[in-house]
Structure 1
Amino acid sequence: MTQNQVALLFFDLALILLVAQLAGRAARALGQPAVLGEIVAGILLGPTLLHGSLSDTLFPTDLRPYLSALANVGLALFMFVVGLEFDYGRLRGFGRVTGVTALSAALVPFGLGSLLALHLAGTHHSEHHLGFVLFFGVAMSITAFPVLARILVDRRMNRTLVGSIALSAAAACDLAAWTMLAIVQAMVGGGGSAHWTTALVVPFAGLLAFVVRPLLKRLLTHDGEAVPLTVTRFITVVAGLFASAAVTELIGLHFVFGAFLYGLVVPRKATEKAREELMQHSHTGTAFLLPVYFVVSGFKVDLSTMGFSGLLELLLIVLTAVFGKVAGTYLAARTQGMTSRHSAVLATLMNTRGLTELIVLGVGLQIGMLDNSLYSQMVVMAVVTTGMAGVLLRRLVGPEDHNLLEEPSAPAPLAEAGDRTGR
């Protein structure tokens, strides 16, 4: 790097962090999660404003690979935290209610999204038609668990009946979506490796579960008791995280899968204190680096060239995404005996997509399932559906709605994940 590039890189980092903070505060002032403001800020710093002259001046092409590298590090840390915060007990949640809700909230938007993909395939050509259809279905079925948790904590709904079911169903949806996305990438071979190498993820997952997990337990506990997370222990865990991300990238899957799997295998029992410290330290890194990811993602979003046909496609995408997730969740909740108000609140919560959607779309763009115009439209859909949650919840839930703000009638694993990530 030249001296000017180094100076501009540091200037850009300062600018990104300041803009992200201001945008996040503005979003919170409007009753929205901070991540929504950060995503919008990243889009506005891209080619959408002033036909790209602003982004070309602030972020010249020769500097963008360095920003992308920092963004990838932040993304790996975030996916590690998502896996680390995943509580398997949430899958049990409220039993049949959670299972039916999660299944319907995933399958209905997946089916409608796949049908929409068949229509869009005529104007957005893909070399792998089946992969395109399946990917689009996955992208439509996403529910952003971290953003959902943040919304519930902000509204003091995280320990309510509806909040508990939403968290349980969202956890199941997320796990199913990442699994399906891995299958789609393995099908299309978008990672640069031969298709057969992606099958190595199965023995690698076994290695993580049966070799790395016991080693991590020995590292984070002593005589069955949690130990303080020293600098050496933290660096060892993070080194394993990046090694895991590297392995999945090399075998043909996106590195986010390796980071997520590594977070999943960190032991839960007797390591609560160490896990808490791990999440706090990791959150510091994501708070610094994820805004860079939003800007790098914004480089690929150009809404200035969207014509009338593009607006129609965008409208169709948003309507399909909202109807699929809301209808699927609402109908499932009603069949399980929930009231219409409870069901509407649950459907509104499950329609939240946030950063999780942005990550899935980034994978789709990388493996050739999306072109730039469709990627831009899908990013807008993620922003709209996330923003809808706050607006609709203010109408559906008020301080006087004690029946929606009551504690669950049965014990259930409850998450405080949003306190840390909020994404």
Structure 2
Amino acid sequence: MTDHQVAMLLVDVALVIALAGAAGFLARKLGQPAVVGEIVAGIAVGPTLFGGVLTRWLFPDDVRPFLSALANIGLALFMFLVGMGIEHAGAAGTRRAVAAVAIGSAALPFGLGAGVACYLAGHHQPVSRTGFVLFVGVTLSITAFPVLARIIAERRLTRTAVGTIALSAAAVCDVVAWTMLAFVQAVSAQDFGAHWQPLLLIPFVAVMFGAVRPLLNRLLAGATPPAATVTVIFTGVLATAAATQLMGLHLVFGAFLFGLIMPKSATREVRESLTRPLEVATKLLLPVYFVITGFNVDLSRLGLAGVVDLGLVVALAILGKYAGAYAGARAGGLPAERSAVIATLMNTRGLTELIALGIGLQTGLLDQQLYGAMVLMAIITTAMAGPLLALIARRAGRQGLDAFGDLEPVRVRQP
């Protein structure tokens, strides 16, 4: 790197962090998750505004590869934290409801997504029609686990039945979705080698759960200094991310897997000592990913056909998630009010959706136009959560956006 590139990289990272912080603060003031403002800010610095002049001036072409490298590191750390956070199996009284919500909120949007993909494939020419149909189905069935966890905490739903059921169902959906995305990427590969390489993931997963997880359990249970433990975890995240990338899959699968195998028996203090420095690093690096996302979203060229595609995708994404989760909650024995809250929460997609869409763009399953439309879908469905919860609260005679925080951990009625 030249001195000029180093200077521009530092300036760009500082600019991205400041922009993301300001946009996130504004979003929270408007009652939205910070990620909504951060995504919108990323699009704003892309080619959508001013014909891309601002983008080329602030983020020169010779600096963008280095920004992408930083974004990938932040992405790996974020996906590790997502995997590590998936530990909510649900109380014994809610497991049937969790299963029903997870199935309903995944199966219906997947079916609707696969159906609309058959229409979209006709004028978007993906590299693999089968892979495209599966990919759109999976992306419409995703729920953003980290964003959902933050919304549940902000609305004081953590210790309620609706919060537990929604978070547990989202955890199940995330694991299934990322497994499916790995399969979709494998079947969409264009060369023979890329088809068989992902098969290495099977023994790799066996080794991770059978050998690496017990070692991590011993590490966290011992008297290892916190600094040394963080070093081992940081190294493990990047190593597993690199391994899946070399297998022909995206690096997020390895980082997510390393988070999944983290022992859940570790004390809260130990887990916080691990996650705190990683969360700090993620907050510094992950906003760079929003900028990279913005480079690939040009809404000024969406056109009439793109608007039609956007309308279809948004309508089916909302219908599939809301109706599927609501029906699942009702089938699991929950009353109508709580079912509506769960359906609203499950409709959030956020950054998790952006990561999946980025994989689709890189593999040629999405073109620039459809990618932009689906990014907007992620923003719209995430931004809907707050207003919908407020609407449900008003109709139920409650007050405020956190009006459901007084819901006790109810015993779910068995159907």
Which TM class, normalised by the smaller chain length?
over 0.9
Find the counterpart in structure 2 of residue 239 from structure 1.
235
Structure 2 length as normaliser, TM-score? 0.94
Q: Distance in 1 between matches of 2:220 and 2:337?
A: 44
2:101 matches 1:101 = yes
What are the equivalent positions in structure 2 for 1:311-330 lying under 5 Å apart?
311-330=307-326
Deviation (angstroms), 1:39:
0.6
What amino acid is aligned across from residue 216 of structure 1 in structure 2? Answer: L
Which residues of structure 2 form unaligned runs of 5+? none
Deviation (angstroms), 1:404:
6.8
2:280 matches 1:280 = no
Q: Distance in 1 between matches of 2:254 and 2:25?
A: 32
Q: Distance in 1 between matches of 2:192 and 2:313?
A: 29
Find the counterpart in structure 1 of residue 138 from structure 2.
138
Is the deviation greater in 332-341 or in 4-13?
332-341
Is the deviation greater in 181-190 or in 27-36?
181-190
Deviation (angstroms), 1:358:
0.4
Partner SS state of residue 53, structure 2: helix
Find the counterpart in structure 2 of residue 150 from structure 1.
150
What amino acid is aligned across from residue 235 of structure 2 in structure 1? Answer: A
Deviation (angstroms), 1:255:
0.7
Find the counterpart in structure 1 of residue 368 from structure 2.
372
Q: Distance in 1 between matches of 2:4 and 2:91?
A: 52
Q: Distance in 1 between matches of 2:192 and 2:68?
A: 18
What amino acid is aligned across from residue 338 of structure 1 in structure 2? Answer: L
Q: Summarize the Cα distance change of 1:262–1:22 in structure 2 as closer, same or farther, 3 Å threshold.
A: same
What amino acid is aligned across from residue 409 of structure 1 in structure 2? Answer: V
Find the counterpart in structure 2 of residue 405 from structure 1.
406
What amino acid is aligned across from residue 339 of structure 1 in structure 2? Answer: P
Deviations 1:31-82 (Å, cap 9, x if unpaired)?
0111110011001011111010100110011110000000000000000111
When the two structures are aligned, how many residues end up with a matched partner?
407
Is the deviation greater in 337-346 or in 108-117?
337-346
Deviation (angstroms), 1:92:
6.4
Deviations 1:74-128 (Å, cap 9, x if unpaired)?
0000001111111053496712111011101000000000000001011110121
Find the counterpart in structure 1 of residue 350 from structure 2.
354
Structure 1 length as normaliser, TM-score? 0.92
Find the counterpart in structure 1 of residue 211 from structure 2.
211
| Mapped contact 2:155–2:404 kept (Cα < 8 A) | no
For the aligned residue pairs, the C-alpha RMSD in angstroms reads: 1.9
Find the counterpart in structure 2 of residue 332 from structure 1.
328
| Mapped contact 2:226–2:273 kept (Cα < 8 A) | no
What amino acid is aligned across from residue 328 of structure 1 in structure 2? Answer: G
Deviations 1:182-232 (Å, cap 9, x if unpaired)?
11111112799521111110100111111111211222222xxxx465222
Q: Distance in 2 between matches of 1:91 and 1:119?
A: 42
What are the equivalent positions in structure 2 for 1:45-124 lying under 5 Å apart?
45-87=45-87, 89-90=89-90, 94-124=94-124
Deviation (angstroms), 1:410:
5.0
Q: Distance in 2 between matches of 1:112 and 1:192?
A: 31
Deviation (angstroms), 1:270:
3.6
Q: Identity of aligned pairs, percent?
A: 53
What amino acid is aligned across from residue 334 of structure 2 in structure 1? Answer: M
Deviations 1:378-419 (Å, cap 9, x if unpaired)?
0000000000001111121234897773221359xxxxxxxx
Match of 1:396 among 379, 389, 392: 392
What amino acid is aligned across from residue 14 of structure 1 in structure 2? Answer: A
Find the counterpart in structure 2 of residue 415 from structure 1.
none
What amino acid is aligned across from residue 83 of structure 1 in structure 2? Answer: G
| Mapped contact 1:193–1:250 kept (Cα < 8 A) | no
| Mapped contact 1:191–1:252 kept (Cα < 8 A) | no
Q: Distance in 2 between matches of 1:333 and 1:192?
A: 43
Q: Distance in 1 between matches of 2:166 and 2:318?
A: 16
Q: Summarize the Cα distance change of 1:22–1:228 in structure 2 as closer, same or farther, 3 Å threshold.
A: farther
Find the counterpart in structure 2 of residue 220 from structure 1.
220
Deviation (angstroms), 1:331:
1.7
| Mapped contact 2:143–2:352 kept (Cα < 8 A) | yes
Is the deviation greater in 89-98 or in 292-301?
89-98
